[in-house]
Structure 1
Amino acid sequence: MAIWRFPPAPVSARTLERKLSVSDLPYPNHTWLPGLVPTGNVRKDSAMLPSKNNQWDKSAEVVIIGYGLAGAVAAITARDLGASVVILEKQSAGSHCSCSSIAMGVFLSPSDIDRATEYMIAISQVNQPVTPWTDLDSILVWLKYSAQNKDWLVNLGGNVKFFSKGGEFPELSGSDSMELWKYQGSGLRMMKFMYDQVASRKIEVCYETPVQRLLTDESGRVIGVRATDTRGGQPKEVNIRASKAVILCSGGFEENEEMKLQYLRVYPIYFAGGTGNTGDGIKMAQEVGADLWHMNCVSARLCAKFPDFPMAFFIDFSGGGWSQRSMLGKKEKARVGFIFVDKYGRRYMDEDLKPHAAVYELGAFDSHKLEYPRVPSYHIFDRRRMEYGPLGQLTSGPSGPHQLYKWSRDNLAELQKGWIVRGETIAELAGNIDVSPTILENTVQHWNRYCEESNDPDFGRNPLELVPLDRPPFYAIKLFPGGSNTQGGPKRNSKAQVVNPFGDPILGLYEAGECGSVFGMLYPAGGGNLAECIAFGRIAAENAVREMLKV
């Protein structure tokens, strides 16, 4: 691994020659430029400074990588504490679309920290009684700041309203401490508000400026970044000084196929939170020595992914805002029925699923058939659901308020595209999705009988959800593992400092948001990630501003 570090003072070519003879270097025929010291195993593809630009092109006390909610909160906080700030965002201003802007706009603000602590510890230790997913100090500081989230937004002038109460896992002690608040107008409106807050503080935002490398001094302290400014059509390499700290707010790796394959528990897996999160910040942090955590953890369920659209879709399975109802915890008799079946046409779960954890149920690998039998799965429904409004979720994702795709009200456009598959009978539908007609017919017959008896002996589904599939035609949507976002990334401590594998902080480097999320395998409740962005954006900025540059 090569880590490019600036020396603490200008170094002449003659001095460099005395420090490093050609025979000492891994590539003896390579020409090493003055002012740049290679350490570790040097790669041929490592970034290098052109000698004529052997200086900083821009400087700020705090440099923030990524302009989603975490980046905006960190920038606002650092600026309000008196620091100069620059935000670097690889997307263009016109097409900028973050996971936060596609979200529903729900965020957590726990009402009882003691009870919330019980709940978060329980979540962190589920199936891990000895080694918790997240250390207690990080849990406590997240809870302390998250409890202030609602007031922080309101004090800025944000328009928020109480949404619901209760965590995703009510069976765990302390779940009732999770209060969910909603920014009025969804995540899109929330991010517009945050962008206005950033602009009012005259914080510089450099769009179309992807960061390529973190830059360090000889001690290993992060002192800036190397980026490519693509504005104006002609890419230009720039070096930006961070006299106090760099804060990584670059998101996860939802759009990096190699990282998803290597790190996540099931593949393929697709996400509905934007196309900009490709793991850049994770790789940059690794290069300067960061440890990783939570890399196989996600906030996900079952989503639709169609070959002619780049993002996954959240599906409104039972209509009328299924996802929103699941977070509200309201239970009433469902108007329509649906089931999930695996690629062989068999049910395998309670379809009243956990919106941010159901994905783990798709990772059962058959070592004899060498396949994931639940990938893909199918959403099976009848004419009731087809006629009960759009199947694409309207509260978040690409068919939500961002309107990256406008789902038809009657679902006929999607039927014509082949996104929805139809059959006049269950047997015909089975043939159209390449599932055994006998097995799927048997599955639906059993389901309809359970509905008649108001009892699901196979998976214990709530009787209020037991509505038969008996009104032809019948329909199916292919489903994959997927959802909101990955959780893994560089490991951080309770000060939001990125740490190395020995737990030591990498000086000058902080992070916030889903780039190394505080959450492990289980996600506490709807709005957890936005809550983390607001909380750790402030934690990172406050500690970054306190950094004293070591020369």
Structure 2
Amino acid sequence: MQNTLKYDVVIVGAGNAALCSALAAKDQGAEVLIIEKSPQPHQGGNCPYTGGGFRFVHNGLNDLLTLMPSVDNKYNNLNMQPYTANEFKNHMIEVTRGDTDKDLMNTIVSESRPTINWMTNKGVIWELPSSRISSSINAPSIIPNSVGLSAYESGPGLIKMLTKSAKQNGITILYETEMTDLVQNKQKEISSIVCKDSNGTYQVNTRAVVLACGGFEANSDMRKKYLGEGWENAKVRGSKFNTGDGHRLAIKLGAQPTGQWSGCHATPIDINAPATGNQGITERMPRRSYPLGITVNINSERFIDEGEGFAEQTFVKMGSRILSQDKSIAFQIFDSKSFNLLEPRYNNSKPAISGNLNDLAKKLDIPESKFIKTITKFNKAASDGNYSPKKLDGISTNNLTIPKSNWGIKIDTPPFYGYCVTGGITYTYGGPKIDTKARVLDQNNDPITGLYAAGEIVGGILFHNSLRGAGLMHGSVFGKIAGTNAAIL
């Protein structure tokens, strides 16, 4: 073992939650070390693969503009209503079906705006989410209020700005450095962390460790163990370095596992998507226009209600169900009525195209007779007409074992199109339990002295589905809280 180092606080990870934690600890006068498993170009966990959006309490557009470095006339036609604490809480409760830890939820909501203010003071530059204003800029328009701001240059920009601030504040970052063990003294207090780099293994003496090293989505064995059969085949949309190291070592010390260990954020993606995240490609790979057609497996069978709701509400479920099918693949089927309505990301792949369904089945290499039977049965239960993708139209199929609750329109107008898709995992939901001070708790709900956690590693916050902008927000909130409390321990 190499020479021993000493720091007041050690942060594991170098993403959004980790960097916020490091900066908060430094605010308290602590000597802070960040260890990052990845090489520097891949720093940031899943953050670089996000749009950098934050969901927080605010008082409307004029309030948000005060957080932006410069404002011009292009926003004159826009109107954004306030986003209240009650709205935020209700959205959290709705998307998690009431399972979210209410104490953690209340902390996220109440600390959301103060944390945004603090990040602004740390050098984060904000802009209005481009996806929300691009179609509204030239005409009077009310834009959604839930995701108030995005970091300049999205997720990669956020990491760049926070890292710059960390370095300016004298925080040491060691890249390609892996945590291999956590050590306690006789009083069961964290006393050191064991690290490994290309030169070998060494120990860092410290009084506090903050685990901000992401989920276990890039660990195929853990995916299979906790998410179930088929999940070992999932492609990873984010960082290949998020392999559950923090989960494993926290539980080894007696941390209480909590949250939905069997759940994760997933989405349908193109079959040719890379096996792990690629910043230039990942966001072009989702395939979420499935409500405008039907989805079949390799046996030519439908297996899910494609029209249960808008894709924004159902894509996590769809991605998960695809991974439970044989070979973890499926085929999205459209006709010419819906083809021009597909989201632009479909332009990044080449579908199978045919003027008749028999030939389409051959091109997709799925059972032809079963495919025709599935389409025929669906069309008998479906309606004539055209799609209205911007509203839940209530056009449901009749008497199908697996219904299509909205957009139940016949697939009968050639040419026909087929896209091969699989499921991509973004992050996992289960993890060690923390309290509102970001302290990791043991089986008796007592804090493990000196051990903190923030970000995607934390269990008990998200269940069943995702809430846009809430992931980065809770990472920043509890990152700041963890760093502060670790430093004053």
With structure 2 as the length reference, what TM-score do the two structures score? 0.77
1:120 to 92, 97, 101: 92
Residue matched to 1:159: 125
Q: Go from structure 1 to structure 2 and tell me whether the alpha carbon gap of 1:524 and 1:113 turns closer, same or farther (over 3 Å shift).
A: farther
1:513–1:537 Cα contact (<8 Å) kept: yes
1:451–1:468 Cα contact (<8 Å) kept: no
Distance in 2 between residues matched to 1:145 and 1:299, nearest whole Å? 24
Q: 1:78-227, aligned counterparts within 5 Å?
A: 78-96=25-43, 98-110=45-57, 111-124=83-96, 126=97, 133-163=99-129, 178-227=146-195
Distance in 2 between residues matched to 1:362 and 1:205, nearest whole Å? 36
Q: Go from structure 1 to structure 2 and tell me whether the alpha carbon gap of 1:185 and 1:362 turns closer, same or farther (over 3 Å shift).
A: closer
Indicate the larger mover: 97-106 or 272-281. 97-106
Q: Go from structure 1 to structure 2 and tell me whether the alpha carbon gap of 1:533 and 1:229 turns closer, same or farther (over 3 Å shift).
A: same
Q: SS at the partner of 1:276?
A: coil
Q: Go from structure 1 to structure 2 and tell me whether the alpha carbon gap of 1:524 and 1:375 turns closer, same or farther (over 3 Å shift).
A: closer
Percent identity over the alignment is 22
* Cα-to-partner distance string for 1:188-247 (whole Å, 9 max, x where unaligned): 1221111211121121000011110011101211122000122xxxx321100113x100
1:291 aligns with 2:256: yes
Q: Go from structure 1 to structure 2 and tell me whether the alpha carbon gap of 1:447 and 1:226 turns closer, same or farther (over 3 Å shift).
A: farther
Which amino acid is the alignment partner of residue 359 of structure 1? V
Which amino acid is the alignment partner of residue 270 of structure 1? K
Distance in 1 between residues matched to 2:24 and 2:383, nearest whole Å? 55
C-alpha RMSD over aligned residues: 3.4
Residue matched to 2:221: 258
Residue matched to 1:30: none
RCO comparison, higher one (Cα < 8 Å, 6+)? 2
Residue matched to 1:359: 316
Residue matched to 1:348: 304
Which amino acid is the alignment partner of residue 159 of structure 2? M
1:475 aligns with 2:431: no
Residue matched to 1:452: 385
Which amino acid is the alignment partner of residue 154 of structure 1? T
* Cα-to-partner distance string for 1:528-549 (whole Å, 9 max, x where unaligned): 21111111111111211221xx
* Cα-to-partner distance string for 1:355-411 (whole Å, 9 max, x where unaligned): 47543456679xxxxx74694222224578888899658xxxxxxxxxxxxxxxx64
Which consecutive residues of structure 1, in runs of 5 or more, have no partner in the other structure? Answer: 1-49, 127-131, 166-175, 323-333, 366-370, 394-409
Q: Go from structure 1 to structure 2 and tell me whether the alpha carbon gap of 1:289 and 1:339 turns closer, same or farther (over 3 Å shift).
A: same
Which amino acid is the alignment partner of residue 50 of structure 2? A
1:63–1:224 Cα contact (<8 Å) kept: no
Residue matched to 1:437: 368
Q: Go from structure 1 to structure 2 and tell me whether the alpha carbon gap of 1:133 and 1:270 turns closer, same or farther (over 3 Å shift).
A: farther
Structure having the higher Rg? 1
1:530 aligns with 2:488: no
1:215–1:224 Cα contact (<8 Å) kept: yes
1:270 aligns with 2:235: yes
Q: Go from structure 1 to structure 2 and tell me whether the alpha carbon gap of 1:259 and 1:318 turns closer, same or farther (over 3 Å shift).
A: closer
Indicate the larger mover: 92-101 or 528-537. 92-101
Q: Go from structure 1 to structure 2 and tell me whether the alpha carbon gap of 1:177 and 1:102 turns closer, same or farther (over 3 Å shift).
A: closer
Q: 1:232-243, aligned counterparts within 5 Å?
A: 235-243=199-207
Distance in 2 between residues matched to 1:96 and 1:187, nearest whole Å? 11
How many residues align? The count is: 428
* Cα-to-partner distance string for 1:126-184 (whole Å, 9 max, x where unaligned): 3xxxxx6343222211211223343333333433234499xxxxxxxxxx984442223
Distance in 1 between residues matched to 2:46 and 2:467, nearest whole Å? 17
1:490–1:516 Cα contact (<8 Å) kept: yes
Distance in 1 between residues matched to 2:189 and 2:99, nearest whole Å? 27
Indicate the larger mover: 453-462 or 186-195. 453-462
Q: Go from structure 1 to structure 2 and tell me whether the alpha carbon gap of 1:513 and 1:433 turns closer, same or farther (over 3 Å shift).
A: same
Which amino acid is the alignment partner of residue 193 of structure 2? V
Residue matched to 1:13: none
With structure 1 as the length reference, what TM-score do the two structures score? 0.69
Indicate the larger mover: 60-69 or 180-189. 180-189
1:339 aligns with 2:294: yes
* Cα-to-partner distance string for 1:81-135 (whole Å, 9 max, x where unaligned): 21111000011113435200111111211332234334434555x3xxxxx6343
Which amino acid is the alignment partner of residue 339 of structure 1? I
Distance in 2 between residues matched to 1:347 and 1:491, nearest whole Å? 35
Which amino acid is the alignment partner of residue 469 of structure 2? G
Distance in 2 between residues matched to 1:271 and 1:239, nearest whole Å? 31
The structure that is helix-richer by fraction is: 2
1:74 aligns with 2:42: no
